[in-house]
A = this chain, B = another copy of it.
Amino acid sequence: MDCYFDHVATNPMREEVLEAMMPYFREEYGNPLSIYPLGMNARQAIEKAREQVAGLINAKPNEIIFTSSGAEANNFALRGVALARQYEGKHVIVTRMEHHSILNSARFLEKLGFTVTYLTPDRQGYIEPEAVRKAITDETVLISMIHASPEVGTIEPVKEIAEIARERKISFHTDAVVSTGNIPVDVKEMGVDLMSLAAHQFYGPKGAGALYVKEGQRIIPLIFGGIQEGGRRAGTENVPAIVGMGKAAELTISELDGRIEHVRRLRDRLKDGIMKVPNVHFTGHPEKRLPGHASFCVEFIEGESMLMMLAAKGIYVASGSACTSKALKASPVLLSMGIPSHVAHGSVVFTFGAGNTDEQVDYTLEEFPQIIQRLRELSPFTEGWGDMEEGESCIPKK
């Protein structure tokens, strides 16, 4: 049985989305900047998609800038705002829960003379709003915080932190790539100035992302060139992908409640079953977390082997963020949460989607314990630690 439990890596695209895209691969191939009908049709399609994406997050259409990915949106937000506001101050705050597109952009800013504060989460991957308040200096111009973690599912207190930022006239960006499409996301209610999205996280196409930029927020382009996207993001628009992102947004608006209920139920069933395996720790926040997200650290095994064995049984999961999963290092996010390296190495993340079923959960609960047992029998890790009592575990078993 094939079980795709890696929706945080990417989603299968909806057939309705592909249908919406098809005309723009064929007869409607115009460049949206061309002034004849073929160009105007493409332009109108983009503007319709802009309205659809704006509708998903309660923004105005002119606050949506299309990008090629969530990573591009994150780079654009962090560097674009920091550079636009550098004459007011050169201090930026991020967290150690961020995606590498934020962390590595922050490091680039350091090379340009910025100071960056990296906030450490608690054991559940949660950032306390007070920690942000304490980190603010008179030089702070930008705070960037992930909305929900792909690795441990924790949802951060974005609304509270946005309020703190607003009091101090600091721009606030949130990376909502993983949350959008999985929980309600409303820029007005959250009070954010900038927010990153990726279409393939909500059953849209790869190659389409967006940055929400609140009216009045200054930002310097990441990609300079023509007058596309109001001169804020150059390059011939990927019309079919943008149209697909719009359609995916529209579907998400009407289906979100049902999707949440479905994945939460499956996730809870899986979690209950997996937690019966000895020396397995549930990671991330128990309540403040994505509904379709279950993450664990399995002690005394090597994570890569676990993933391979699961894959051999048709169970497709991740060890953390897909963007770093090939690096074979313990996740920096888990380490920053205070999880010991040898435990973090056994990270496994199940993320559910609309296509998952109870049968898949049953099957996985049958296979998973056997695989872990087999791996522990084979693993050199158990030799040294075999006499460890469960109580010695570094993180409390929930």
Which residue of chain B lies nearest to A43 when distances are taken between CB atoms in the complex? B326
Q: Which of B10, B39, B99, B234 contacts A29 (CB 8 A)?
A: B10
- Cβ contact within 8 Å between B225 and A104: yes
Report A1 CB to chain B, min CB distance, Å: 14
- Cβ contact within 8 Å between A100 and B234: yes
> Chain B contacts of A13 at CB under 8 A?
25-26, 29
Tally of A interface residues using CB under 8 Å: 74
* Cβ-based interface call for A36 (8 A): yes
Which residue of chain B lies nearest to A311 when distances are taken between CB atoms in the complex? B36
Q: Which of B25, B311, B318, B323 contacts A225 (CB 8 A)?
A: B323
Contact A323/B33 with A69-B236, A71-B225 known, Cβ cut-off 8 Å:
yes
| Cα A80 to Cα B343 with chains together (Å) | 38
Which residue of chain B lies nearest to A12 when distances are taken between CB atoms in the complex? B29
* Cβ-based interface call for A217 (8 A): no
> Chain B contacts of A38 at CB under 8 A?
4, 316
- Cβ contact within 8 Å between A36 and B307: yes
* Cβ-based interface call for A206 (8 A): yes
| Cα A91 to Cα B112 with chains together (Å) | 18
Which residue of chain B lies nearest to A233 when distances are taken between CB atoms in the complex? B71
- Cβ contact within 8 Å between B25 and A9: no
- Cβ contact within 8 Å between A316 and B71: no
- Cβ contact within 8 Å between A74 and B225: yes
* Cβ-based interface call for A394 (8 A): no
- Cβ contact within 8 Å between B72 and A68: yes
* Cβ-based interface call for A286 (8 A): no
> Chain B contacts of A131 at CB under 8 A?
none
> Chain B contacts of A304 at CB under 8 A?
35
Contact A239/B72 with A29-B12, A225-B323 known, Cβ cut-off 8 Å:
no
Which residue of chain B lies nearest to A74 when distances are taken between CB atoms in the complex? B225
- Cβ contact within 8 Å between A325 and B33: yes
User: Residues 68-99 of chain A: 1 if any B CB is under 8 Å from the residue's CB, otherwise 0?
Assistant: 11111011000000000000000000000001
* Cβ-based interface call for A278 (8 A): no
* Cβ-based interface call for A200 (8 A): yes
Sorted nearest first, the 8 A-B pairs with minimum C-beta distance are: A226-B323, A207-B238, A101-B225, A68-B68, A69-B235, A104-B224, A71-B235, A36-B311
**25 contacting pairs across A/B (C-beta < 8 A):** A6-B31, A6-B36, A9-B30, A9-B33, A10-B29, A10-B30, A21-B25, A31-B322, A33-B326, A35-B326, A36-B316, A68-B207, A69-B223, A69-B238, A71-B224, A71-B226, A75-B222, A100-B226, A101-B226, A101-B235, A207-B208, A225-B323, A227-B323, A227-B326, A236-B322
For the A-B complex with A101-B224, A108-B224 known, give 20 more contacts whose Cβ atoms are closer than 8 Å.
Answer: A6-B34, A9-B39, A10-B34, A13-B26, A35-B311, A36-B316, A68-B69, A71-B234, A71-B235, A74-B225, A75-B223, A99-B226, A100-B225, A104-B221, A104-B224, A205-B238, A209-B235, A226-B324, A227-B323, A228-B323
